Amino acid sequence: MKKEILLGVALVITVIAVPLIFIKGEEFSKARAEELRETQNKELYREANTYMDSEKYENALEVLNKLPDDYEDAEYMLQYAEFCKAVKDEKSIEELYRLTWHFPSEDKYSGKYAEEMRAAEKDIDAQYEEYTARKEKEKREEIKKEPPYKGMEEKYINSTSLGRAQEKRTEHYWRNTPGKRTQDIQYRYMWYDSNGAKKFMALCRNGRVSSTVTFVHSSSWGNGNSYKETYGSKDMYDVQDYDDPEDFYYDHIDEFDDIQDAEDYWEEAQ
């Protein structure tokens, strides 16, 4: 009887012990795997810093992309490496300016590259401001050569070859959107000749010229004061070449506030 009891106890101990050994073994394996990952990450991080210091940004990017986003300051190093590579590749000021948008704020990151990032951001901001001022001047000089045209920004409406509009009317129109109709505002600009007759009209919606009309004087018999309306057909974006408003938007993403603005423009041109 005693022998049977001892055998029973041994069996119970074995049943309990085997799962415990398995659990301990699994925990050990996980801990070992985690330790190996940490060792690999440390080595990758050290390698990335070495590449950054030697200005081998392409190599640094390759290594940084292997690290978890939340490892040390790898996320911010990646952003700075992308910027530095773009500078080295002599990318445009527009692209460099966009890359600085991703730089972390001063209160968010104060690591090894924080000071360099702040200096780069300040320098690119100054360069971009000079660039946009120059482009704006060139644009206004170009605008002066012709009358308003479809797609032109409304802010240039009084800077064209026609000079300042003699009249501006604020009007309301119904804007059709999927599932509903909303009322919006448009502006009608008018130019007149020396006799007070209509010469040109530009209609602006959402900050851009949506259509134009040229009033051409005709001297037909019996109606010396009649005018012929000629609708402007110039479009600065070649919108008629697009079958899909999304394709149109992504090809001119910097020219519109959002995709809805671009879709409205595309729909009005159909």
Digit-coded pLDDT (tens) for 25-63: 667 667 777 788 888 989 999 999 999 999 999 999 999
* pLDDT at residue number 133: 95
> What pLDDT is attached to residue 229?
47
Average pLDDT on 2-6 reads 54
pTM > 0.85? no
pLDDT at site 221? 46
User: Looking at residues 250-264, what average pLDDT do you find?
Assistant: 70
pLDDT of residue 249: 73
Q: 4 pLDDT exceeds 50?
A: yes
Residue 248 binned pLDDT confidence (cut-offs 50, 70, 90): confident
Summarize pLDDT for 113-156 with one digit per residue, the tens. 999 999 999 999 999 999 999 999 999 999 999 999 988 999 99
Residue 213, pLDDT above cutoff 70: yes
What percentage of the chain carries pLDDT values higher than 70? 71
- pLDDT above 90 as % of the chain: 47
Q: Are 93 and 128 in contact (CB under 8 A)?
A: yes
d(CA 191, CA 215): 10
* Residue 15 confidence (pLDDT): 52
- In the prediction, which pLDDT does 45 show? 92
Average pLDDT score over the chain: 81
Please give the pLDDT value at position 216. 79
